[in-house]
Amino acid sequence: MNIIPTSIPDILLLEPQVFQDSRGFFLESYNQKTFTEKLEITANFVQDNHSKSEYNVLRGLHYQSIQPQGKLVRAIVGTIFDVAVDIRKNSSTFGQWVGYELSAENKRQLWIPAGFAHGFLVLSEIAEVIYKATDYYTPGGDRAILWNDPDLAIDWPLETPPILSAKDGNASTFKNAEVYE
């Protein structure tokens, strides 16, 4: 697995080794031993989530206030622009974000530890995204930060206004968000 450091040291962009021939391809998307020994990530994944979205759908920026979730994110169909925002108040990268293109073609994954808000924009006609989570979803702890918050200034690759859920369109500003201590 190729590990690509990001400007936020706790977030890693991962490129799995792909074995491809005339029949198709094979890759190992997760191996606990590799994560523990090579990446020093001891996360215990308890839930897998799968979403399908159309072009220009923006989901996020989501996080859990009660049971924070680390996520291992990948696109298995199409292409997304995946974003993580550091919302750990005592972090040296508090309020900073990173964004990377994840696609079925490049097979990259993004490791986002607990303490970050997460969102993505669909760049292809459709996209299917799968992510492993380190804690269970808790409806009472579900939170969102406004995708276009001026204090975050995320450079989303948008050509037209995105398609949002009501929750995402009415999300909290970064200044008013519940952040992690």
Asked whether residue 51 is domain-assigned, the answer is yes
SS percent in the chain: helix, strand, coil, step 5? 5, 45, 50
Asked whether residue 180 is domain-assigned, the answer is no
For residue 26, give the CATH number of its domain.
2.60.120.10
One pLDDT digit (tens) per residue for the chain, 181 residues = 899 999 999 999 999 999 999 999 998 899 899 989 988 899 999 999 999 999 999 999 999 999 999 999 999 999 999 999 999 999 999 999 999 999 999 999 999 999 999 999 999 999 999 999 999 999 999 999 999 999 999 999 999 999 999 999 999 999 999 888 7
Asked whether residue 149 is domain-assigned, the answer is yes
Asked whether residue 158 is domain-assigned, the answer is yes
Contact 14, 41 (CB under 8 A): no
The C-alpha atoms of residue 115 and residue 68 are separated, in whole angstroms, by 6
The C-alpha atoms of residue 59 and residue 179 are separated, in whole angstroms, by 19
Structure tokens at 75: 């696109």
Containing structural domain, residue 134:
2-169
Residue of 17, 90, 108 whose CA lies nearest to 99: 108
Asked whether residue 146 is domain-assigned, the answer is yes
Instruction: Tell me which residues are annotated as active site.
Output: 62, 131
Asked whether residue 178 is domain-assigned, the answer is no
Asked whether residue 176 is domain-assigned, the answer is no
Number of domains composing the chain: 1
